[in-house]
Structure 1
Amino acid sequence: MTRKQKRLTIIGSGMAFLALAAGLTFYALGQQTSYFYMPADLLARAAVAGERIRLGGLVQKGSIERSEGTHVRFVVEDSENEVPVVYDGILPDLFREEQGVVIEGVVGADGIFVADTVLAKHDETYMPREVADRLKQEGLWQEE
């Protein structure tokens, strides 16, 4: 084997290794993807039973039902559609009726969303109490 052939073999092997590593990385990232849906999108798409997704919307007023332990039932809605949700765990402090939430889990065969993660959303005016108190002390707080 000539010197030029050895060099090309090493370069080709290196490129093949990098291509394999990139392919495996993209495959692994694709397996961890969970798509985001609103209730209208979820109801329009029938083949999501058992698929891991994220659902976003508002907690419907009057829909929160707490049972024994940490088991909670509630309904997530957009302007027109609603999806029943069950969750077993501790809810975030910002979780309440008519508040935005993003939940992650799977849709059961019965159409009920079984959540394993609940994230409560807040608006852009949210500020932790400690920060607001500190700004008031320094005279930087501007009441609206």
Structure 2
Amino acid sequence: MALRSLKKQRRIQVVALAAVALVVSTALIGYAMRDGINFFRSPSQVMEAPPAPTETFRIGGLVEEGSLVRGQGQEIWFRVTDGGASVPVVFGGVLPDLFGENEGMVGTGRYVEGVFQASEILAKHDETYMPKEVIDALKEQGVYREDGTPES
């Protein structure tokens, strides 16, 4: 009888140890990925519910016509729009070759004091490509045509 209770006790210990290992590994994976997960927001979503200044996220839309201003040095200012709202953006790096006004873009950064401070800017890689998130945001605002061009 002592042998059965010993086996039962061992089985319970193994199951408890496996459960603890699962919880610890899940927590470690979540901790490691906390900076690697960037949620996408459209300009309308950013204006409706501005994220905290410490939150890194992605924003996408079209570079608003007439808004691109190259500052002194490498600082570039522009506005990104989805047709419903516009968000000012500042970027201090080198822009992609196909970046331009009325073109699709996705930026990664933080929204601080009413300005999206981009740490990375991505533009479409050819004349016909636009990121799915940007297309969805533009369709939601009714400013995207099926031929792949924004409505003017």
After TM superposition, where is structure 1 displaced by more than 6 Å over at least 4 residues in a row?
A: none
Native 8 Å contact 1:100 1:122 kept in 2: no
TM-score (norm: length of structure 2): 0.71
Which residue in 1 is equivalent to 2:8? 4
Native 8 Å contact 2:98 2:126 kept in 1: no
TM-score (norm: length of structure 1): 0.74
- Aligned pair in 2 of structure 1 residues 63, 40: CA closer, same or farther (>3 Å)? same
- Aligned pair in 2 of structure 1 residues 124, 67: CA closer, same or farther (>3 Å)? closer
In 2: Cα distance, 1:15 partner to 1:2 partner = 20
Q: Give the gaps of 5 or more residues in structure 2.
A: 130-152
- Aligned pair in 2 of structure 1 residues 10, 90: CA closer, same or farther (>3 Å)? same
In 2: Cα distance, 1:82 partner to 1:54 partner = 15
Q: Give the gaps of 5 or more residues in structure 1.
A: 127-144
Residue of 74, 87, 90 corresponding to 1:86: 90
Matches within 5 A, 1:6-85: 6-85=10-89
In 2: Cα distance, 1:70 partner to 1:32 partner = 26
Native 8 Å contact 1:99 1:122 kept in 2: no
In 1: Cα distance, 2:10 partner to 2:74 partner = 65
In 1: Cα distance, 2:37 partner to 2:19 partner = 27
Q: Residue deviations 1:39-76, cap 9 Å, x none?
A: 11111114533321211110011211112332111111
Name the Cα RMSD after superposition: 2.2
In 1: Cα distance, 2:89 partner to 2:81 partner = 10
- Supply the AA of the counterpart residue of 1:80: G
Which residue in 1 is equivalent to 2:140? none
Other structure's SS at 2:25 match? helix
- Give the superposition deviation at 1:10: 2.3
- Give the superposition deviation at 1:17: 1.0
Which residue in 1 is equivalent to 2:147? none
